[in-house]
Amino acid sequence: MEHLLSAWPEVAAQLREARHVLLMTDFDGTLTPIAERPELANLPPATKGLLQSLARLPDFTVGVISGRALVDLKEKVGIGGLVYAGNHGLEIEGPGINLVHPIAEELEPILRVMQYVLSGSLRAIKGAFVENKRLSLSVHYRLVEDSQTTKVESIVKQVVSRAEAAGQARITRGKKVYEVRPAVTWDKGKAVKLLMKKYGKGGRRSGLVPIYLGDDLTDEDGFRAIEAYGTGISVFVGEAGVQSTARYRLESPAEVVTFLRKILD
């Protein structure tokens, strides 16, 4: 991956030629540093100001795509006029779009039962907790001692196994988190494709330049969607040496701020 700030002249030329820019970004680890608990993550004022300014431009659409629940994501970002995609794109709300994946909604009662069982089973493991995001669950173990992490994994697999075998749920991994999601063919990549289709009618001939920034395994689907489009900008946020399908890299959320400021300038 090439460092994006080093490649800025060619990226800037690509953006200047665009008829419309669709800027899509993950939240945790991308716009804001990873926090020990989800509720402790806060969007820095400088980042919020830049996103607000970009969203006001007539040839820009700004979206935030996150594993967080939609209502939580909107509260954390707090900017009107943006596209918000929660639960890895299972629920999307923004200008001209409002959707919830119907199968995910049908499976919500099953997720509630699994949350109850998981919470009880993990109670004895210090630092482990379950976050109910309505359409998915997150089992966080960032604060768990290393000697207990395999036990967390075993419990999650055991509790979800029946729903998994029935084709109702699946487990995906993130940074110190297990995601229990509905077993539907939907992810951040599908959400990115949907938004590119909506805001770039006519495909590649529309002049749309889509951008996607992310830092986690779940963001790889978004990177692949951008790369398949052919004229987009995919950006992994994290340390050098990590394998990713993204074309470019930024070191940290602080460098994301620098990138956003360069776009605005």
Cα distance between residue 5 and residue 259, in whole Å: 7
Please state, as a whole number, how many other Cβ atoms lie within 10 Å of the Cβ of residue 45. 8
| Residue 252 tokens, joined | 């940290």
- The yes-or-no verdict on residue 135 having pLDDT over 70 is yes
| Residue 111 tokens, joined | 């997720």
Contact 59, 21 (CB under 8 A): yes
Q: Using alpha carbons only, what angle is made at residue 216 by residues 210 and 222, rounded to the nearest 5 degrees?
A: 25
Q: Which residues pair with 62 in a beta bridge?
A: 23
Cα distance between residue 234 and residue 244, in whole Å: 10
Mean pLDDT of 46-51: 97
- The yes-or-no verdict on residue 207 having pLDDT over 90 is no
**Cβ neighbourhood burial of 102 (10 Å; 0-12, 13-18, 19+):** exposed
Mean pLDDT of 215-220: 94
Contact 227, 247 (CB under 8 A): yes
For the chain, which domains are there? 2-101+186-264 (3.40.50.1000), 105-182 (3.30.70.1020)
Contact 221, 188 (CB under 8 A): yes
Tokens 């109702």 belong to 168
User: Would you give the distance in Å from CA 25 to the centre of its chain?
Assistant: 7
Per-residue confidence band for 241, with pLDDT thresholds at 50, 70 and 90: confident
Q: Would you state the pLDDT for residue 206?
A: 75
The mean pLDDT of the chain is: 95
Per-residue confidence band for 200, with pLDDT thresholds at 50, 70 and 90: confident
User: Would you give the distance in Å from CA 74 to the centre of its chain?
Assistant: 13
Hey, which residues are catalytic here? 26
Residue type at 92 in one-letter notation: I
Please state, as a whole number, how many other Cβ atoms lie within 10 Å of the Cβ of residue 6. 11
H/E element holding 62?
strand 60-65
Dihedral sign computed on CA atoms, order 52, 56, 60, 66: positive
| Residue 99 tokens, joined | 């959707």
- The yes-or-no verdict on residue 165 having pLDDT over 70 is yes
Q: Would you state the pLDDT for residue 203?
A: 61
- The yes-or-no verdict on residue 204 having pLDDT over 80 is no
Mean pLDDT of 72-99: 96
Cα distance between residue 65 and residue 219, in whole Å: 9
- The yes-or-no verdict on residue 244 having pLDDT over 90 is yes
Pairing state between β 60-65 and 2-3: unpaired
Tell whether pTM > 0.85. Answer: yes
